[in-house]
Amino acid sequence: MMTETDNPNLTEKLTKDLVSYVNLRVNAAKLAVVENLSEIFCDGFGLLFGLALGMIALVLFSAALTLWLGVVTGSFLLACLLVGVFFLLLAMIFFALRRRMFADRMVAMFSKMFFSNRKENEDDRL
């Protein structure tokens, strides 16, 4: 029967393999963090770009709507007031639905990103 004293290289090899395994797991965790952060920043920049374009379109649309309502009603002041009330109502609706529209979606996105069912242990298949 072989004991530890008979083969001292076995302990050294086991220690080296354990250190190597721990280093590989740390590197895998770092790569997962980098991947998730890159997805977050990519989604964030896309959202900011989309919001910027949307805001430009909204400003142009509201200016055109104000001018059109000014012509239809005959009063530019009344047209500005109507557009202002419309945006005030829209802001109140967004405020009332903010949790459902933003918070719940962000929680779902982050939980999918960080707790997905992807194969975390790719090397375990070997």
| Rg for the chain, CA atoms, rounded | 30
Strands (E), the chain: none
pLDDT of 91 > 90? The answer is yes
DSSP 78: H
pLDDT value for 104: 74
Using CA atoms, how far residue 77 sits from 81, 85, 90, 115, in Å, is: 6, 12, 20, 54
Q: Considering only 7-11, 91-95, 96-100, 102-106, which range has the smallest mean pLDDT?
A: 102-106
Range of 57-61, 94-98, 118-122 with top mean pLDDT: 57-61
pLDDT value for 66: 96
Please, which pLDDT band fits residue 4 given cuts at 50, 70 and 90?
Answer: low
Q: What token pair was written down for 89?
A: 């109502």
